[in-house]
Amino acid sequence: MSGVISFYTIARDANNLVTNAGLAKIESGNDSYIRVPISMTYLDSPSTTSAITYQVYLRRNAGTAFLNIDNTVSSITCMEIKG
């Protein structure tokens, strides 16, 4: 069995903000299980005064990949920059 490649990205209102490759990529070897912190940064300019929802998405090539397993905690920090 080949390893698992996981791609992590940020979406605004369910629309991916970057390419399918995502903002972070983790590769694990055959039948291996790894835990690593992920940090992603993206400057978004939505040009709206409406409420916006941001989410982290995970995609993998095969096998199983996890996000926030075993009670780990993640957070998203969004900042509005006055133009």
Give the start-to-end residue ranges of the domains of the chain.
1-83
29-83 pLDDT, tens digit per residue, is 766 677 777 888 888 888 888 888 998 888 888 777 877 777 777 777 877 777 6
Top-confidence residue, 68 or 9: 9
- Tell me the two tokens of residue 76: 């998203």
Top-confidence residue, 12 or 79: 12
pLDDT for 14: 86
The pTM for the full model equals 0.69
Three-class SS state of 60 = strand
Top-confidence residue, 10 or 35: 10
* Residue type at position 30: N
CA 59 – CA 6 distance, rounded (Å):
6
- Sign of CA pseudo-dihedral 35, 55, 42, 21: positive
Contact yes or no for 40/23 (Cβ under 8 A)? yes
pLDDT at 12 exceeding the cut of 80: yes
